[in-house]
A = this chain, B = another copy of it.
Amino acid sequence: MIMRNLPYEELKHFCEGAFQRFGFPQEDSAFITDTLLKSDLFGITSHGTNRIGMYHGQIRQGLIDCEAVPQVVFETPVSAVVDGNRGMGQLVSRFAMEKAMDLAEKSGIGLVTVRNSNHFGIAGYYSLMASERGYLGMAMTNSLAAVVPTFGRIPMLGTNPLAFTFPASPAPFHFDASTSVVTVGKIEVAEKMGKTLPLGWGIGAEGKEEQNPSALLQSIYAGTSGLHPLGGGTEEFGGHKGYGISMMVEILTSILSLGTPSHLVEKEEGQAGVCHFFAAIDPKIFGDPQAIQQHLSGYLEALRQSPKAFGQERIYIHGEKEREAYAVRILEGIPVTEGSWNEMRTLAEDLGLKMEEYFQES
């Protein structure tokens, strides 16, 4: 399936060029590109540069306004509400997380809820921004509805990812995951691979467990059925817990910001954009940050060293897989499929970009 590995620098240069053609200033294009490339380098292909086409489509539809300036519409010393004004999700999110970190610098904590934004890429990009400054970082977003509540039939919640990053040594604890059994991206990958889905990922239009990825995707887009929350479609394995954690994300994003809940995202007239939530918390409001970090690092090492399941050789700490993928891909390049490569060629033609100016082997 993988056609070639594109060198990081070449792909970066191409993406920056594309986003500038879409209408973003050079510096903003570089930031958006960095969020997408970090996802690719982390091995999260579903949220990386192969989404350029999706963003391009949303710009052309008028869902993303390239010239929008996000604004703080409400503020206290510990919190803020941001209206994204339908800007690019990544730019709105950078603005909001920087606001959260500014508040944390002054008050020890900053909580920022955001309405009227767009798809922001990986949640973990923003929680990492906070952890790089020594803060506990959190980032969440709602999304187009894709997840069915326990005992429900149609999608009423987004995949509602939650990222939580806490500084530690040698590397932060970095959790970033959707609150559904799987992401929509995983269904798309299964479809491209021609695979059958395991029982328990989602229900189809007939209201029964759906194992055909194309059929499941179609019913998600049509709003007739969707993915299960983490824990699955029954209470027996805790599906109501995943539903509750997804609700927590929904409340902190769309409810607190007076924004648009997932089931109405892009369905209502006007400002029906995606909503986010960001938190930056300085550990020093709980004592000595070094002692806390050391305490966490010791616990993480105890986890790594604890006995392994039969047939398993390693217990992963959240964030390790991403860092290890990064270390390989930054040197060896980012694998792209023939499909993605052809999409890039088409996009380049549309935008009047010459592939050979960006890629040595084009």
Chain A interface residues (CB < 8 Å from chain B): 74, 76-79, 81, 107-109, 111, 113, 136, 148-154, 156, 162, 164, 166, 173, 175, 177-182, 198, 200-201, 203, 207-208, 230-233, 236-238, 240-245, 247-248, 250-251, 254-258, 261, 263, 281, 283, 285-287, 291-292, 295-296, 299, 302-303, 306-310, 312, 314-316, 318
Chain B residues with Cβ below 8 Å from A148 are 309
Contact B78 A154 (CB under 8 A): no
Alpha-carbon distance between A230 and B255 when the two chains are bound, in angstroms: 25
Evaluate whether A248 and B200 lie within 8 angstroms (CB atoms) in the complex, with A303-B152, A308-B153 already known.
no
Contact A175 B247 (CB under 8 A): yes
Contact B309 A236 (CB under 8 A): no
Chain B residues with Cβ below 8 Å from A309 are 148, 151-153, 203, 207, 233
Min CB distance, A290 to chain B, in Å?
Answer: 11
Contact B156 A316 (CB under 8 A): no
Evaluate whether A306 and B149 lie within 8 angstroms (CB atoms) in the complex, with A177-B240, A200-B237, A299-B261 already known.
yes
Chain B residues with Cβ below 8 Å from A302 are 156, 261, 263
Contact B175 A244 (CB under 8 A): yes
Min CB distance, A177 to chain B, in Å?
Answer: 4
Contact pick for A258, options B244, B291, B303, CB 8 Å: B291
Q: List 20 A-B contacts (CB under 8 A).
A: A77-B108, A81-B287, A111-B281, A111-B285, A111-B286, A136-B251, A151-B312, A153-B309, A156-B302, A162-B245, A164-B251, A173-B247, A177-B238, A177-B244, A201-B237, A230-B230, A231-B231, A231-B238, A240-B316, A247-B318
Min CB distance, A238 to chain B, in Å?
Answer: 5
Contact B156 A303 (CB under 8 A): yes
Contact B307 A153 (CB under 8 A): yes
Min CB distance, A88 to chain B, in Å?
Answer: 23
Contact B296 A251 (CB under 8 A): yes
Chain B residues with Cβ below 8 Å from A232 are 237
Contact B182 A238 (CB under 8 A): yes
Contact pick for A173, options B113, B231, B251, CB 8 Å: B251
Contact A153 B79 (CB under 8 A): no
Chain B residues with Cβ below 8 Å from A173 are 247, 251
Contact B255 A314 (CB under 8 A): no
Contact A108 B175 (CB under 8 A): no
Contact pick for A230, options B74, B238, B261, CB 8 Å: B238
Contact A292 B256 (CB under 8 A): yes
Chain B residues with Cβ below 8 Å from A107 are 77-78, 107
Nearest B residue to A138 via CB reads B248
16 new A-B contacts at CB < 8 Å, known A81-B287, A149-B303: A74-B287, A79-B108, A79-B285, A81-B286, A136-B251, A149-B315, A156-B302, A166-B255, A178-B241, A203-B309, A230-B231, A230-B241, A231-B231, A255-B292, A256-B292, A258-B295
Alpha-carbon distance between A76 and B307 when the two chains are bound, in angstroms: 40
Contact pick for A79, options B74, B109, B250, CB 8 Å: B109
